[in-house]
Amino acid sequence: MLNLKSEIKNSKNYFVWTIGCQMNIADSQKLESAFDNMGLGKSDSVQDARVVVLNSCVVRKSAESKVESMLGTLKSVKTLFPEKIFVLMGCMVGPKTDDLKKRFPYVDIFAQPQKLEPIVDFISNKMGVDSEGCLESITVAPDVAAYIPIIHGCDKFCSFCIIPYRRGREVSREIKDIVNEVELLTARGVQEVTLLGQNVDSYGHDLEPGNRLEDLLSAVNEVKGIKRIRFLTSHPNDMSDQIIKAVSKLDKVCEHFNLPFQAGDDEILKSMRRGYTNLEFRNLVEKIRNYIPKASFATDIIVGFCGETELQFQETLDLVQEMRFDKVHAAAYSPRKGTISDRMMEDSVSKEIKRDRLESIWELQESVQSEINKDLVGQEFEVLIEGKKKEKFFGRTRSDKLVFIDTDTDRINEFVNVKINSSTAWSLQGTILN
Ligand code: SF4
């Protein structure tokens, strides 16, 4: 044990655990890059690491419970190895940390989303390593595709959502900084970038005119080496004609839209403060499909929001049936402390009913996806091979379809043309043509 303790004290390894959205993944990648620049080494486990970072999510109760469980595990580790440095970052950390400090006194530092400087400063002091400029250059290039935050925070304040309280108001990054980051990533072999924002469509409203999402997409489209550009998450109210036209015209921008509708009933949409109606959402999808017939769609749904009746839920089911989304992320409503719905509305739908409604959505969407994917059998697609899962290489089409490929040759990070031979609701299977 003594040996182990002194090993830990002298160790310069770090371990980063991440849960939640792509913004969290992007923050973790940036922090890992900074640690690498500081001379620390990446570890695969809490046991081997001197620095342990939990990047947390509290958007749903289930995610928060996982973070709490990880924190519980760390408590006993700290008793045995007090030299370990524990960091809690992400959306569990609000502007005030007194309560967290009381609950988790063994955590050394708490950092809000995107606020990485306090972490590197603390680690640098504690371990005596240089952190000068460590957040400025990218050393950890994701294998194939990279996430790039372009706008932080959210101004929408949907009644169920904790994000604006944790990530603050919207702040857009300058186009030149984003283009510079894309160039650095392409130099490291990245061919696909996903531009991220909680509400990516409102990018640039706080910058000079001529700096909106469509302008950024055009600028990134010019970067040599980049082959595909994606963006998420959209908001129906901010999806402008200019954005739709940019997607239809720019050759590298993939014709895939992440467009949450959340609920099908207008009353529920109003109490969620989403700012659009069922009809407006339908019209928007129709408009996009008119401009871009091949467009694919992913959406988010919350079932069992405060007061949602069976009839109101039926509106959600109807929308899923009729819109034929390519992917649906459905979750049961869980009140998040401090949000408008938590303070002012009753969480009146029982757990059982929420679960039944979720199952209805999943069952319906499975049949929709099976039909959509079946129609793709026999067609050919360009696929960027991303990795290997269960002995099978896999990649994605421009429309974000997951494709498993019959090949033994490792062609990760290559574009290949694939003929689709079979399908399930969740993926396509095919063979390489070139
Ligand atoms: S648009 Fe609404 S749901 Fe999305 S991050 Fe902002 S407040 Fe949350």
Query: In sequence order, what DSSP letters do the residues of 213-268 get, joined into one string?
Result: HHHHHHHHHTSTT--EEEEE---GGG--HHHHHHHHH-TTB-SEEE---B-S-HHH
Burial of 382 (0-12, 13-18, 19+ CB in 10 A): middle
pLDDT in tens, 321-370: 999 999 999 999 999 999 999 999 999 999 999 999 999 999 999 999 99
Handedness of CA 196, 267, 288, 381 (dihedral sign): positive
pLDDT in tens, 197-238: 999 999 999 999 999 999 999 999 999 999 999 999 999 999
Report the pLDDT value the prediction gives residue 2, as an integer from 0 to 100: 52
Instruction: Please state the atom number of ligand 1 nearest to the C-alpha of residue 161.
Output: 8
CA 170 to chain centre: 17
Q: What percent of the chain has pLDDT over 90?
A: 89
Residue 249 has pLDDT above 80, yes or no: yes
Q: Each residue of 14-46: b (16+ CB within 10 Å) or e?
A: bbbbbbbbbbbbbbbbbbbbbbbbbebeebeeb
Cα–Cα–Cα angle for 285, 289, 292, rounded to 5 degrees: 135
CB 418 within 8 A of CB 399: no
Report the pLDDT value the prediction gives residue 3, as an integer from 0 to 100: 66
Report the pLDDT value the prediction gives residue 296, as an integer from 0 to 100: 98
Q: Mean of the pLDDT values across residues 400-415?
A: 93
- Taking CA atoms, 54 is separated from 199, 220, 233, 272, 300, in Å, by 24, 32, 24, 30, 25
SS3 call for 15 = strand
Report the pLDDT value the prediction gives residue 223, as an integer from 0 to 100: 98
Report the pLDDT value the prediction gives residue 95, as an integer from 0 to 100: 86
Q: Domains in the chain, ordered, with CATH?
A: 2-127 (3.40.50.12160), 141-254 (3.30.750.210), 260-374 (3.30.750.200), 380-432 (2.40.50.140)
Q: Rounded to the nearest whole angstrom, what is the distance from the C-alpha of residue 14 to the centroid of ligand 1? A: 32
Residue 138 has pLDDT above 80, yes or no: no
The label of the residue with tokens 């004290």 reads: 9
Rounded to whole angstroms, the Cα distance separating 4 from 16 reads: 21
Phi, psi of 74 (to 5 degrees): -65, -25
Report the pLDDT value the prediction gives residue 408, as an integer from 0 to 100: 87
Residue 9 has pLDDT above 80, yes or no: no
Bridge partners, residue 197, by sequence: 151
Q: Rounded to the nearest whole angstrom, what is the distance from the C-alpha of residue 364 to the centroid of ligand 1? A: 25
| Largest Cα span, the chain | 68
Q: Mean of the pLDDT values across residues 263-272?
A: 98
Report the pLDDT value the prediction gives residue 355, as an integer from 0 to 100: 98
CB 195 within 8 A of CB 230: yes
Report the pLDDT value the prediction gives residue 319, as an integer from 0 to 100: 98
Rounded to whole angstroms, the Cα distance separating 25 from 196 reads: 11
Q: Rounded to the nearest whole angstrom, what is the distance from the C-alpha of residue 258 to the centroid of ligand 1? A: 13
Q: Rounded to the nearest whole angstrom, what is the distance from the C-alpha of residue 198 to the centroid of ligand 1? A: 6
Report the pLDDT value the prediction gives residue 145, as an integer from 0 to 100: 83
Residues lining ligand 1, Cβ inside 6 A = 154, 156-158, 161, 163-164, 198-199, 235
pLDDT in tens, 18-61: 999 999 999 999 999 999 999 999 999 999 999 999 999 999 99
Pocket test for ligand 1, best of 169, 198, 235, 274 (most atoms within 8 A of CB): 198
Report the pLDDT value the prediction gives residue 136, as an integer from 0 to 100: 79
Report the pLDDT value the prediction gives residue 391, as an integer from 0 to 100: 87
Q: Rounded to the nearest whole angstrom, what is the distance from the C-alpha of residue 261 to the centroid of ligand 1? A: 11
Report the pLDDT value the prediction gives residue 262, as an integer from 0 to 100: 98
Rounded to whole angstroms, the Cα distance separating 323 from 297 reads: 9
Cα–Cα–Cα angle for 209, 147, 143, rounded to 5 degrees: 145
pLDDT in tens, 274-333: 999 999 999 999 999 999 999 999 999 999 999 999 999 999 999 999 999 999 999 999
Which are the contacts of 143, defined by CB distance < 8 A and separation ≥ 6? 386, 387, 412, 413
pLDDT in tens, 80-127: 999 999 999 999 998 889 999 999 999 999 999 989 999 999 999 999
Residue 1 has pLDDT above 80, yes or no: no
Pocket test for ligand 1, best of 22, 59, 154, 160 (most atoms within 8 A of CB): 154
pTM of this prediction?
A: 0.92
CB 178 within 8 A of CB 148: yes
Q: Mean of the pLDDT values across residues 258-281?
A: 98
Nearest protein CA to atom 1 of ligand 1, as residue: 156
Handedness of CA 8, 41, 152, 161 (dihedral sign): negative
Q: Mean of the pLDDT values across residues 428-433?
A: 96
Short-list 141, 145, 25, CA closest to 386: 145
The label of the residue with tokens 């207008």 reads: 266
Residue 258 has pLDDT above 70, yes or no: yes
Q: Rounded to the nearest whole angstrom, what is the distance from the C-alpha of residue 165 to the centroid of ligand 1? A: 10
